[in-house]
Structures are given as C-alpha cells and as structure tokens.
Structure 1
Amino acid sequence: MTELTLPVDRRTPVGARCRVGVIGLGYAGLPQAVAFAEAGHRVIGVDSSPRVTAALRDGHSPVDTVPDDRVCRLGETLSVVDDTEALADCSAVVVCVPTPVDAAGEPDLTALRAACGTVAAHLRPGQLVVIESTVYPGVTDTVVRPVLERSGLVAGVHFGLAHVPERVDPGNPVFDSADTSRVVGGLTAVCALRAAELYGGVVSSVHITGGLREAEATKVLENTYRQVNLGLVHEFAAYCDALGIDAAAVIDAASTKPFGFEPFYPGVGVGGHCIPVDPLYLAHSARAAGTPLHLVELAQRINDERPVRVADLCDALLGTAGTPLDGAEVLILGVSYKPNVSDIRNTPVVPLIRELTARGVQVRIHDPYVPELVVDGHYHKSVSPLGAAIAEADLVLVAQHHSAYDTALLHRARLLYDPRRHT
C-alpha cells in the first residue's frame, strides 16, 4: 500500500493537549473519554441515550465502573453535547458504540454506521477518526471508510483513519484503561502513528500492527480464545460430573504448572458484551472467506447450552434431596455477568431462569449490584434479607461470585450448588 502524507492541523496536533470527541459513553467509551480528559485533553462526549447524557450532566456516571467523583472532578474538561457540530472542532474523534449481533447471531453494525454518518457530517481536513468498536476484519476499511468519505474527504489523504480495539475489563481491580497496552492499526503508517501518539499519552504502551485488519482481528481473537477455553472447561466439567471427579480441584491442580496452562472455571454460562458476541463476528468473517472456524462455532454452542446443563444439575441435586423440581424454590445468587459489577449484558442467568421456570421452579434472585432483573416481562426483585432467603430456599445456586457472598453466609443453605466449585 502506498503511504500518503496527511496534512497536519498545527493548531491542535493530535497527542498534545487537544480536543477529542468520543461517540458512545458506555462501558468502553466513558472510561476512554475520562482517560483523555484526565490527560489534559478537552473531551466532547456524544451519546444517543438521553439517560446517559442527563446523568453525566448531573455529575453522575451511567456505568458503575467509573465513580461519580471521577466524573465530577473533570468539570468542563469533559463536556456532553447534543449538538454534534462540536465534533468539527475536534482534532480526533473516537467511536465507541456497541456492535452487537442480531437475532440470527449475525453482526449488527447499525449503530456503527450511524455514528460514522454523524462523524462524516462534521468531518474536516486534518482530523483523525478512530474506531474502537469491535468489528470483524475489513469493516473499518470497507464499511466505515465509505461512510466517512461521503463527506467528500479521502481517508489517508485528507483525514486519518485508525482502528484501536477497546480493552476494557469492567470491575478488574488490577488493570484499568491506563495500565492496559493498546493495539493500533492504521489505514496508512501515518494514520497509525497519529493514533499511537494520541493513545500513547493515556496508556502504558502502544503496539502498532501492520494494518487495520490485524488490529481488528486482534480483538476478536482475544475473546475467541476465552470462548473456546470456556467451552472446553464446560465440556470437561460435564465429563468430570459423569465420573464423580471434582473439576475445580483438577483445574486448581493443573494451575500449579507455571507454564503452558491458564485456568478457566465452569459457570452457569458465558455473559458480557465480548465473549458471547465477538467470536460470532470472527465466525461470520471466516464463513464469508470460505474458511469456517468449526472449533469456534462448536465452543459457542457448548457455552450457549450451559444454562440447560446447569438446570439439569439443579434437577439432579433436588431429586437426591427428595425435592421435586416442579414447585421447588431456587435462589440464584448473583445475576450480573461477572463479579462485583452491575453489568447484566448477555448474562447467562436470563436463559437459566427461563429454563428453570419452564420446569416449574419458583425462582428468586439476589444481587447486591442489581436491584431487579427483567426476564420476558417478569420482574425478579433482589430479595431481602439475604440470610433468611438463603435459609428458606430449597436450593441456593451461586451464579456469580460477588465478594458479598462469604462462606459463612452460604453455609446457611439447605442445599448449595456452586457451578464453579462443583459440577
């Protein structure tokens, strides 16, 4: 590819203290916007949700992983706007909108196309456009680029275009956005260097790939790796159950090896925005290329079926205790998709509740971070007091390991099932 020199806007160079637009202020976009603002950039935030924008204007964070006081300290350094014309004054615009899958499990780029249309409406020479939204390889060049070039400007000539996949892990106490290396791919080498300059001021390190597609593929590989390993461990757990082996004890033992093994533990399924979604983007791209990834698709099916397997085990445990599943009361502890956060995106607890309810179970829930969970129009409110609810239930199922669920509390249960520690 011939590399072209981009005109540089000397008034607001990317990497120095400049104005940065961020479109999408959710679990990925808001931490990034805050990081840019804390580094001294003037940040213009845009989000399609009135709830999100209203909360931020009132000094409240719409996501639990960014504290309110962190937002309040920024003052006018982070401005949330409805008038997207302010994006024209930005040296860089970062797109962090969701890229889910549709009902058929195919990539849904609706929000990404809309966001890029907004950028195109205000695009000016010298700007840098960065896509953080997860996509399959080729989207930034073949889907995003044509939308942006409706502005009459040419990517790589009049404006920069780069892909920097988000690497947010909500609730991770060790690694935050500043401590996590970022991968940068550009349409041209100059595009990549400009994006690296921007992110280099807010993260620990930057890795520049050979192009856009390598950066796009990095993200889907990272989460497919986790999906495949979780599929393996869920099948291994079922195998151990058939032989009366403690799967968790085996995983713990294997974890003592200091090389060549990383532990993954069974659960009630796989949730979040990344692991249940990103491998489907990779599988879609692979089928289109004529090289289907059978292992990836199989792992997806195994993990999708895990809530049914968990319901089967609840049935078996209750049967052993002499309690029929139909009419039994099962208390599910933890409904978010990961520990110590309120994020319920794609939580496997929803299909688990569907499965248990279909079998006649009276399901109750508790989660210190989620006051209620709506499943098929039915509101499941978090029970209180927790101790009494645990003692009353026929079976207590630990779906998520929140730190609030200590061993002494769980020992009050008549019958306890923890998929992570027992299959």
Structure 2
Amino acid sequence: MPADLAVIGLGPYGLPLAKAAVAAGIPTLGYRTGPEAASLSPAELRRMLSGGFRHATSPAELGRVRTAVICAPTPRGADGGLDLSQVEAAARTLAGRLRPHTTVILESPVPPGTTENVLRRLLEEGSGMVAGRDFHLAYSPSRVDPGNRDFTPANTPKVIGGLTPACTESAAAFYGRLTDKVVRARGPREAETVQVLETNFRHVNIALVNEMAVLCHDLGVDLWDVIRCAETKPFGFQAFRPGPGVGGHAVPQDLTAHAGRTLRMVELAQQVNDQMPQYVVQRAAALLNEHGKSARGARILLLGVTYKPDLADQQSTPAEEVAVRLMRLGASLSYHDPHIPSWNVLDRPVPRADSLYEAAADADLTILLQQHRRYDLQGLSVKAQLLLDTRGATPTGAAHRL
C-alpha cells in the first residue's frame, strides 16, 4: 500500500506523530535519521504495522508521498545552541527525491528563521524547485507530552506557519486529519517562536519553583502546602512543582547564537535548574549527617532514574548527575526503576535492587527521584530508614521533602 505521509526521524517527535497518523487512518512511512531514543513495544509496533505503518528501506521511497514531516532531533550543541545537523541531513535526503506539490513540514525544535533560511535553501538546492511555488513548506511546533493520558495529538491544537498562505492551508489540511483544532500563525518564524516560548515558559517556571524550594527549606516553610493553596487561585497562576533537575528532549533557548542577544531570564533559569542535582546531594548529605552518618560509605538507594514518570526515557535525566555527585562523595549506590533493567554511571554499572522494600530497609538513605505509579510511597516511607522525596509525592510527614 503506498504511503501518504513520510515521517523523517522516529525519535521523541516523529514517533508520536507516526502513531497519531496511523491511528487516523493515514498510510505512513517511517524514515530513521539516526539511532533515535524513542521506541515501541512489540504490541504497539504490531498495531501500527496493521494500521498502515512501515519502515522505509530506501530514501527513494520519500519521493512517493504527498506530505513529508521532518522530526529529526536537535540536541544542544557544543556552543550551547541547538545542533541542526540532523535536520540538515534529513533535508538533503528529502530534497533529492522531492516531487512537485509535496507538502514539507518541519516539527523539530529550531531557532526562528530555520525553516526559511536553512530548510528552504537545502530543499531548493537539492530539488531544483522553488518553495511556495513548486512545493509547500511550513513549520509546526511539536507538542508532545510523553505519557500524558489527558492530552493526545487528537485534542491538542496544532500551530501552523507556512511560507505562503497556500503553504499554510496545505499543512493545515494535513493536520486537520489528526487534530480537532488547527491554529494558523502569521508565518514560519512566528510558528518557530511559539515553540521557543512554550519551552522557555516551562523552564523558567520550573526554575522559579526550584528556587522557592530552596528558600522554603531555609525558612522552615512547607512549600508543597504553599503550592496546594496557591493553585486554588483561578486566575494569574499556574502550578509548577520542584524536582531534582530538568530532563527531557526540549532544550531551553536563549537565542544568543542566532539573534545576537540573550534572554536573560532563560539563561538564569537554566543556571538555577542545573544546580538542582547538586542541591539534592547537599540535602542528602545533610540528612545523613543529622542522623550520625557520613555520605562516605553510606548505602544510598535511588528510586526512579528516568526523566519522566512511567516512561523508560533517560534523556538528560538529573538522576545521572545526582549519582555522579554521590559517587564522588564516596557513597555506595544502588537503584530501582521498573522501566530501566540496567543503568551505567561513569561507565560503571550501578547495582539494581531486586527487592524494593528490602533494599529501602537496608539503605541508609533512599532518595525518590521519579514518582513512577508502581511505587507504593506509603509503604516505602514505612520501610525506609531515611527517605528524601524530591517530588513531593509521599504523604505529608512520611518523608523529608525537597
């Protein structure tokens, strides 16, 4: 069966799009751009294959679709900006097979101007065609929230910004098959900047509540009760919660390398969030000290080492830096995570606890880094000698909270 859609990049942005497209009845071709981190369970893969999904065996197959969406990852580069090399490689691969009237959409997180100044140039040079005349070109920020059961591609509005009004309408017609609502931006730059704003909004607000966590601990104030009360305000407030650091695939952007200026608040937020693993280790050492123990030689159990609950994704997980810092203090580490069968830190395997309750009872300190649904936190708080909860997930008074 010929594919109607090609998803180029099957990582954290492309795989959810491919799943949504197949669920909407769109024959979909998946093309890998590299060793993507996202994965499918055997059952999910069987459902997708039966619904019209297949992997591309040759780049030539990209020239047989009506819509191609580039979802290549853009990790942080050596200069702190986004590394666009995989997007550029995907564009070159597509350009040599591009047919007239194809709609090309970029969903990867990119700096404003990338669609027009980078993607357009590569596609036109490689195809000999003109964007906006011979083929449609648009940008749509990926709005993926892995593991979120309330918001799916079907009920999450999609923002579209096309190179021309006709480009916008062509992209909108495609996304209208996947979602209940399409929002038209003025152009690609506006749509790209939507992604920048949404990502930075998250990081800035997490940084604020992380700073509040440190302040409230110093003041002897229960931050979690503060948040509980504050979120009853029906306007002007959105609740965020602190944690051991910020992980995931969305990289905050201060745009220094691209716009010639710094978003100072974003830069400061990144500094605050980057300090949280160190703060967790400081709190851990202080707790051990208060109970007559030293971090050196202490048996410490880390619970949940993924960046998000109930997922196996470890992209930029703060658990790694927490573990590194504890190791450097001389602690003896073990971990438990129902989604991670093995875990290496500093190229050394960290022992995995087989029996969770026995390991918590044996450890001098247990640190909850991620609140997976499988964890019985009430039971753990009873079994653990000492429990530090960095997520505020345990019952009040059952553990030391961040």
* TM-score class normalised by the smaller sequence: over 0.9
How big is each residue's C-alpha offset from its partner over 1:219-259, in whole Å with a ceiling of 9 and x where there is no partner?
Answer: 11111111001111111111111111111111111112122
Counting only pairs closer than 5 Å after superposition, residues 191-206 of structure 1 correspond to structure 2 as 191-206=167-182
Contact kept? 2:160, 2:182, Cα under 8 Å = yes
Equivalent position SS for 1:178: coil
Contact kept? 2:9, 2:32, Cα under 8 Å = yes
Contact kept? 1:336, 1:400, Cα under 8 Å = yes
Match of 1:87 in 2: 62
Equivalent position SS for 1:234: helix
Change (3 A) 1:368 1:393: same
Match of 1:7 in 2: none
Contact kept? 1:38, 1:74, Cα under 8 Å = no
Q: Does 1:409 align with 2:385?
A: no
Match of 1:240 in 2: 216
Q: Does 1:294 align with 2:269?
A: no
- CA RMSD in angstroms comes to 1.8
Equivalent position SS for 1:185: strand
Q: More deviation in 194-203 or 34-43?
A: 34-43
Q: Does 1:222 align with 2:207?
A: no
Q: Does 1:62 align with 2:47?
A: no
Contact kept? 1:27, 1:63, Cα under 8 Å = no
Counting only pairs closer than 5 Å after superposition, residues 95-110 of structure 1 correspond to structure 2 as 95-110=70-85
Equivalent position SS for 1:372: coil
Match of 2:29 in 1: 44
Counting only pairs closer than 5 Å after superposition, residues 344-355 of structure 1 correspond to structure 2 as 344-355=314-325
Equivalent position SS for 1:122: coil
Shift of 1:290: 3.8
Q: Does 1:371 align with 2:337?
A: no
Paired residue type of 1:260: G
Unaligned 5+ residue runs, structure 1? 1-16, 53-60
Paired residue type of 2:176: G
Change (3 A) 1:28 1:288: closer
Shift of 1:288: 4.0
Counting only pairs closer than 5 Å after superposition, residues 23-422 of structure 1 correspond to structure 2 as 23-49=8-34, 62-63=39-40, 68-69=43-44, 71-72=46-47, 74-75=49-50, 77-150=52-125, 151-274=127-250, 277=251, 279-280=252-253, 283=254, 285-286=255-256, 288-406=258-376, 407-421=378-392, 422=401
How big is each residue's C-alpha offset from its partner over 1:73-113, in whole Å with a ceiling of 9 and x where there is no partner?
Answer: 54271111120101111111111110111234221111100
Contact kept? 1:287, 1:293, Cα under 8 Å = no
Equivalent position SS for 1:227: helix
How big is each residue's C-alpha offset from its partner over 1:152-197, in whole Å with a ceiling of 9 and x where there is no partner?
Answer: 1111111110101111111111111222111111011100100000
Shift of 1:51: 8.6
Shift of 1:38: 2.6
Paired residue type of 1:97: A
Once residues 144 and 46 of structure 2 are traced to their aligned partners in structure 1, the CA distance between those partners, rounded to angstroms, is 18
Once residues 235 and 174 of structure 2 are traced to their aligned partners in structure 1, the CA distance between those partners, rounded to angstroms, is 35
Shift of 1:415: 0.3
Q: More deviation in 96-105 or 295-304?
A: 96-105
| TM-score, with length taken from structure 2 | 0.93
Change (3 A) 1:18 1:49: closer
Change (3 A) 1:154 1:51: closer
Once residues 351 and 72 of structure 2 are traced to their aligned partners in structure 1, the CA distance between those partners, rounded to angstroms, is 30
Once residues 420 and 18 of structure 1 are traced to their aligned partners in structure 2, the CA distance between those partners, rounded to angstroms, is 44
| TM-score, with length taken from structure 1 | 0.89
Once residues 256 and 318 of structure 2 are traced to their aligned partners in structure 1, the CA distance between those partners, rounded to angstroms, is 26
Equivalent position SS for 1:326: coil
Shift of 1:381: 4.3
Q: More deviation in 130-139 or 369-378?
A: 369-378
Q: Report the count of equivalent residues.
A: 391
Paired residue type of 1:154: V
Match of 2:398 in 1: none
Contact kept? 1:371, 1:381, Cα under 8 Å = no
Paired residue type of 2:107: E
Shift of 1:308: 0.4
